[in-house]
Structure 1
Amino acid sequence: MNEGILHKVREMNPLVHNMTNQVVMNFSANGLLALGASPIMANAKEDAAEVARQSDGLLLNIGTVGEEQLDAMILAGKAANEQEIPVVIDPVGVAATSYRTKLFESLLSEVQPTVIKGNAGELAHLIGRKLETKGVDFVGETDPTEVAEEVARNCGTSVLCTGKTDIVTDGNRTLKNETGTALLTQITGAGCLLGSVVTAYLSVGEDVLESAHAAAAYYGKKAEIAASQTDVRGPGTFLSHFIDQLAGEDMG
């Protein structure tokens, strides 16, 4: 587990521009602050690109996106691409409706991601495969490695496929992470915050695959430690411990 990247994040305190869904803004901001990064949320077309240029990393999460926010995301993404600022795209629920699929395709046609982060169902949809989803969640069973690698090759990017085992790949080199806890599936926005954490890790300029893998490993391990606390009785008590653990140094 590469803790050196975390230390670099905390030394640099990167500004992470989160264009994310309305459900998770507060959680994502608090999680990034605990990690040691600085969150900013700017969704207006009028300043999205300017904020992106001032930032160290950009997250584009389509969880609650509409046409106006999509336009802002494209402006921000293009600005980030021009300045070689890392961009993470999280296609939340892309398989749920044709509207979400159209929005994502529009975004991907204009913005080159550094990493696409999603579950197996979302990623499979990007390459025309049908895997079982329920709303924004993947509920089927499949080996995600082949799916993630094909998405990486098709989109010319790196991919983080989240699940019981996380897969990080660029289509040629593949890393796996098995840290985590089932309690993460019982709190809203756990995957969305992971996207923000990955963006923070990428923003300090290390190897993309190593950074994405280190982010997923740290995130999962901290969740495991939080879940193991004696006063955790469910997702509510887990949540506060998890934020505390993200702020800590000890990997347990």
Structure 2
Amino acid sequence: MTPQSLIISLRDQNPLVHCMTNFVAMNVAANVVLAAGASPAMVHAQDEIADFTPICGALTINIGTLSPAWAASMLEAARTAADKNIPWVLDPVAHFISAYRKSVAQDLMALRPTILRGNASEIMAMAGEAGAGKGADSGDSVDAAQDAARALAQKFGSVVAVTGPVDFVTDGTRSAQVAGGSDLMPKVTALGCSQTALMGAYAASGPAFEAALATLAHFKVAGTQAAERADGPGSFQMHFLDALAATQPENLAAAIL
């Protein structure tokens, strides 16, 4: 299955995606998933996990605004997804900034996410390497994180996506890079977090490596198109949603190196 065929499958299936994301990202992530052609649900109460997660096409977990109650829900949802063979995506936002956050991220990683998505500093730290991350922002290059990404993919059986100016994705054997986007993208809050949610939609529609690759390409293509119309970060966000909806299968190939 190719990224081009996956975007068609996603829009045909309109998969329901269980998005456990942070307070900052909820609205942005929901709009991104909707614009791309899938259906998001921002459910996080632990009492709902057993009923809700099994009916979803995929689960996505973003630990941006972590709390003990949310951590418990996330761990239960990840276990449920693993038990039911539901693909799930982990975004370990700034997991290196506190012992608590690191512990939760490691517990989630031990459950072997289908896809691990993060910036270079997050991926390097997950692999036990020293990095230069500052909060949720990466201080390391994507190139510097490639070996860590391959090691994590081989150890956990996960596809690992490293995001940056040129994205990198690997399953431990295969790898690919994705280019494009815009310098305005980091200036709009939660776009990275929303990419995790969209990655779940693609994972519900096809194989993990191709799902990660298609998501990265979809974002790069939409970012490039939105930047051509935007006057700044505010109008960029509006045009980005329009561009996600307008992206066609043939557009994705242009972003994949």
TM range, smaller chain: over 0.9
Work out the CA distance in 1 between the residues paired with 2:82 and 2:142. 33
* Secondary structure class of the residue paired with 2:177: strand
CA contact (8 A) 1:5 1:214 kept: yes
| Separation in structure 1 between the aligned mates of residue 6 and residue 158 of structure 2, nearest angstrom | 21
How far the C-alpha of 1:105 sits from its partner, in A, is 1.5
Equivalent positions of 1:1-252 (< 5 A) are 2-109=3-110, 111-141=111-141, 143=143, 144-204=145-205, 206-229=206-229, 232-250=230-248, 251=251
Question: CA contact under 8 A between 1:96 and 1:136: conserved in structure 2?
Answer: no
Cα distance in 2 for partners of 1:249, 1:173 equals: 26
The higher-RCO structure (CA 8 Å, 6+ apart) is 2
Give secondary structure in 1 for the equivalent of 2:19.
Answer: strand
- Structure 1: distance between partners of 2:179 and 2:241: 20
Mapped to 1, the partners of 2:224 and 2:132 lie a distance apart of 27
Deviation (angstroms), 1:86: 0.5
Contact 1:49 1:77 survives alignment (8 Å): no
- Consecutive unaligned residues of structure 2, counting only runs of 5 or more, are none
| TM, length-normalised to structure 1 | 0.94
Q: How far 1:207 sits from its partner (Å)?
A: 2.4
Query: Normalising to structure 2: TM-score of the pair?
Result: 0.92
Partner amino acid, structure 1, of 2:243: Q
Contact 2:142 2:163 (8 Å CA) reproduced:
no
Q: Which runs of 5+ in 1 are unaligned?
A: none
Over 3 Å counting, the alpha-carbon distance change for 1:142 and 1:4 in structure 2 is closer
Give 1:225's aligned amino acid. Q
Amino acid at match of 1:220: K
Shift of 1:106: 2.1
Letter in 2 for 1:242: F
Structure holding more helix per residue:
2
In the aligned structure 1, how far is the partner of 2:10 from the partner of 2:119?
25
1:120-173 residue CA offsets vs partner (Å, 9 max, x unmatched) = 100111121111011111123462221211121222211001111111111111
Give 1:226 shift: 0.5
Give the partner amino acid of 1:29: A
SS at match of 2:225: helix
Instruction: Report if aligned partners of 2:222, 2:247 keep a CA contact under 8 Å in 1.
Output: no
Aligned residue identity for 1:77? A
Per mean C-alpha deviation after superposition, the further-off stretch among 180-189 and 14-23 is 180-189
* Structure 1 residue ranges (4+ consecutive) displaced by more than 6 angstroms after TM superposition: none
Q: Give the partner amino acid of 2:224.
A: E
Count of aligned pairs: 248
Q: How far apart are residue 49 of structure 1 and its match? A: 2.8
1:141 and 1:39 map into 2 onto residues whose CA distance is 31
Match for 2:41: what amino acid?
Answer: I
Q: CA deviation at 1:27?
A: 0.5
Look up the equivalent residue of 1:186 and give its one-letter code: K
Partners of 1:2 and 1:71 lie apart in 2 by 34
Give, in angstroms, the shift of residue 19 of structure 1.
0.5
Secondary structure of 1:46's aligned partner: helix
CA deviations over 1:17-52 (Å, ceiling 9, x no partner): 000111010000111111110000111110123211
Retained in 1: the 8 A contact 2:142–2:162?
A: no
